[in-house]
Structure 1
Amino acid sequence: MANSGDKINRCYSQEDVQQILQLAIARQADDDKEFSHEVLLEIASELDISPETLRLAEDDWVAKQGEIQHRQAFNLHRQRRFKKRAGNYFIFNTFLVFMDLLTGGGINWSLYIVLSWGLLVGLDGWNTFQTKGEDYEAAFQRWHRKHQLKSSFNNLVNKFLKATSR
């Protein structure tokens, strides 16, 4: 039997509280369980979080999820581009090696092309699968601006076509 002296006043930092609650929610929730917005509001009110603060946090979360989706699309775009380049490398260099074999009885001059181009493809692969750093961020920002510009232009053209078709 525990006496009242065994109860220790515990204090937690905000980060500790977040981690403990995250672990508790993960333990309690089933894999398919989702929480409604009302439940989220109720949890926030029990934690003395104002509805305005919760709304701002939810807006930040939505923006972060959007950026995550854009980054995933960007990474997929880069991987597809790399696969295409690697395929072109394989096809073209296979042709060169066969030409070299047919004309010279061995692999002579085509080896230099295969190795040189292989180095470039290897560097391209390294850059493609590198998802951290300043170069990645700069490439993502360029791609994102280009993607937004295309989207804006397509919306403008669609609006113009709708207006002229009436």
Structure 2
Amino acid sequence: MSYNSEDVEQILEIALTDKEEGEFSREQLVEMASELGISANILEKTEQKWLAQQEKELLRGTFNNLRRRDFRKHFISFIAVNLFLILLNLITSPSYFWSIFPILGWGLGLFFHWWNVYHTKTEDK
């Protein structure tokens, strides 16, 4: 019986997930690669590419966490200041609701900040 490369990849993936030990040493990785006919040079290049990708994902996750934290600060400021403006409005001139204008203006900026944080993906740069 013969297998194509996709079948081999799927079988090995299942075997690796079923293996009770969750970690492999570098020597085991090199041994598995040599058994599959993968040269040490190709393995080294692929490993470096994988490490770079892992680093990018870590940095992207950290960056996204910072963006979310900044948005939460912006939202809390929006609520606090606008509650104060509404209270000031009700005390000084209850017949005219002027505080709606800063609420709408700042709210529009807050909406775009929210959209930028939660609906845009960070691109590889």
TM range (shorter): 0.7 to 0.9
- Larger fraction in helix: 1
Structure 2: runs of 5+ lacking an equivalent:
none
Q: Which has the higher contact order (CA 8 A, sep 6+)?
A: 2
Structure 1 residues 129 and 18: CA distance shift in structure 2, 3 A: same
Equivalent of 1:47, from 9, 15, 36? 36
- Distance in 1, matches of 2:50 and 2:12, equals 17
SS for the counterpart of 1:109 is coil
**Structure 2 residue 17 is the aligned partner of structure 1 residue 23:** no
Superposed CA RMSD: 1.9
Structure 1: runs of 5+ lacking an equivalent:
1-8, 142-166
Q: Which residue of 1 aligns with 2:109?
A: 120
- Distance in 2, matches of 1:44 and 1:107, equals 75
Question: What count of residue pairs does the alignment treat as equivalent?
Answer: 125
SS for the counterpart of 1:23 is helix
- Distance in 1, matches of 2:68 and 2:96, equals 31
Aligned-pair CA distance for 1:102:
1.0
Equivalent of 1:11, from 3, 13, 26? 3
2:40 maps to a residue whose letter is: P
Contact 1:97 1:107 survives alignment (8 Å): no
- Distance in 2, matches of 1:89 and 1:124, equals 12
Equivalent of 1:94, from 80, 83, 88? 83
Runs ≥4 residues deviating over 6 A: none
Q: Which residue of 1 aligns with 2:118?
A: 129
2:79 maps to a residue whose letter is: F
Structure 1 residues 106 and 84: CA distance shift in structure 2, 3 A: farther
- Distance in 1, matches of 2:10 and 2:56, equals 23
Q: Which residue of 2 aligns with 1:152?
A: none
CA deviation map 1:71-99 (0-9, x unaligned) = 01110111111111111111111110110
2:42 maps to a residue whose letter is: T
Alignment of 1:124-163 (within 5 A): 124-132=113-121, 136-137=122-123, 141=125
Structure 1 residues 77 and 38: CA distance shift in structure 2, 3 A: same
Structure 1 residues 107 and 78: CA distance shift in structure 2, 3 A: farther
- Distance in 2, matches of 1:107 and 1:35, equals 70
1:80 maps to a residue whose letter is: R
Aligned-pair CA distance for 1:10:
4.3
